[in-house]
Amino acid sequence: MKRRPALFAALALVIAAAAALILTFTLKKSAPSGVIDEITHDKTEESAGSGRPGKDLNGMKKARVFVLAGQSNAVGVGHAEYLSGHFGRDEIKKWREGFENVKLIYVSHNIRSSGFVPTKIGCAEFGRDTFGPEVGVADLLDERYPGQTFFIVKCAFGGMSLFGDWLSPSGESGLYDHDSRYFEGVLSTDDRPFGWCYNELADLLKKSFETLESEGYKPEIEAFFWMQGETDAVVGRVDGYIELYDALLKDLANEFPGYFDGCVYVDAGISEVWENYEKINEAKRIYAAQSSDRRFIDTIGAGLTTKNEPRDVPDIAHYDSDSVIKLGRLFAEYAF
């Protein structure tokens, strides 16, 4: 008689186990495909800021990709020699050694990386120890989400116009039909065909996606960063600018269906040294306010400067070294 409580307890455990098996079987029979895996298995590592699993249901790793495009302030003319006046030695050392967890593939004029490389100082157009906003992007991503892996696709060319060099297919056909005055006096740089910068970006994206997919990743564009407008502002090409920018974004999304789903579009304003900067920036601001997936960075309000470096003859067309880092961090900040 004294053993009956123990016997009853053991019997209760058996009944509970049987009930669990029946419940699991019922879920598998009734739940949609993939749901039961979310119920019975630990979730994979979550991607930074998204709350989404690091792997999708067919087992491919999700590659969080950021696109950086535009003209010379996207290329980056930040002089590394001046960084010590703004940042500590350890920070600068980190940027020189590079971020192994934030990979960069890039093309600009006559230089291009052989593939994805660690993001660091030196991945810019000019060979004079310079860098672009990608360093600031990587710095904030690594700071906020240590151990997470990210990929940056950078395609930028100095002095290029959205009305010629960056002209996308639907932008060209639409504006020629709409109003030919937009194109008066417009020549693509170096007599290259209209849209050659757009084509370079499309080719680089295609190569990037193929590379990532061959390594078992499922690329997903997290954000598109645009730093452009100086050239078009200074020659007075303001009317039609936003229509062309909108056409460029839509053409990219159509050319790469699925990759831009959920993308955030972050557009940076130009500095006050350019004629018509107020008009270009206001157009950018209004466009960004029209959709929740668009952002505008007020670079002037954020305190970015162009008038201090190099010290002997400041290059007022381009951001100072600390502002290049800040611009990149702002891009990453606005992406989430």
Which amino acid is residue 159, in one-letter code?
Answer: G
Share of residues in the chain with pLDDT > 70 (%): 76
**Residue whose structure tokens are 């579009």:** 265
* pLDDT tens column, 208-238: 999 999 999 999 999 999 999 999 998 888 9
Task: Count Cα neighbours of 251 within 13 Å in the Cβ-side half-sphere.
Answer: 20
- Cα dist. 126→27, 78, 80, 157, 271 in Å? 60, 10, 12, 11, 21
- Cα dist. 24→33, 38, 226 in Å? 14, 13, 49
Q: What is the sign of the dihedral through the CA atoms of 141, 142, 146 and 147?
A: positive
Reading the block at residue 193, the tokens are 């065909």
* pLDDT tens column, 272-321: 999 999 999 999 999 999 999 999 999 999 999 999 999 899 999 999 99
Helix 277-289 and helix 241-255: axis angle, to 10°? 50
Q: Specify the pairing of strand 61-70 against strand 217-227.
A: parallel
CB-CB contact of 53 with 61 (8 Å): no
Long-range (24+ apart) CB contacts under 8 A made by 233-236 are: 233/270, 233/274, 233/275, 233/276, 233/277, 233/279, 233/280, 234/274, 234/275, 234/276, 235/185, 236/275, 236/276
* pLDDT tens column, 26-35: 333 333 333 2
Among 272, 331, 335, smallest CA distance to 303 is for 272
Helix 241-255 and helix 196-214: axis angle, to 10°? 30
pLDDT of residue 21: 39
Which amino acid is residue 158, in one-letter code?
Answer: G
Q: Could you confirm whether domain 61-334 is CATH 3.40.50.1110?
A: yes
Which amino acid is residue 26, in one-letter code?
Answer: T
- Quote the DSSP letter at residue 100: E
Start-to-end CA span in the chain (Å): 66
Beta bridge partners of 64: 150, 220
- Quote the DSSP letter at residue 199: H
- Cα dist. 281→84, 247, 251 in Å? 31, 18, 23
pTM over 0.95: no
Q: What CA–CA distance (Å, rounded) separates 100 from 161? A: 33
Digits of tens for pLDDT over the chain (336 positions)? 444 444 334 434 433 444 443 333 333 333 333 322 222 223 233 333 333 334 443 677 999 999 999 999 999 889 999 999 999 999 999 999 999 999 999 998 878 898 999 999 998 765 678 999 999 999 999 999 998 999 999 999 999 999 989 999 988 766 544 444 444 444 455 567 789 999 999 999 999 999 999 999 999 999 999 999 999 998 888 988 999 999 999 999 999 999 999 999 999 999 999 999 999 999 999 999 999 999 999 999 999 999 999 989 999 999 999 999 999 999 999 999
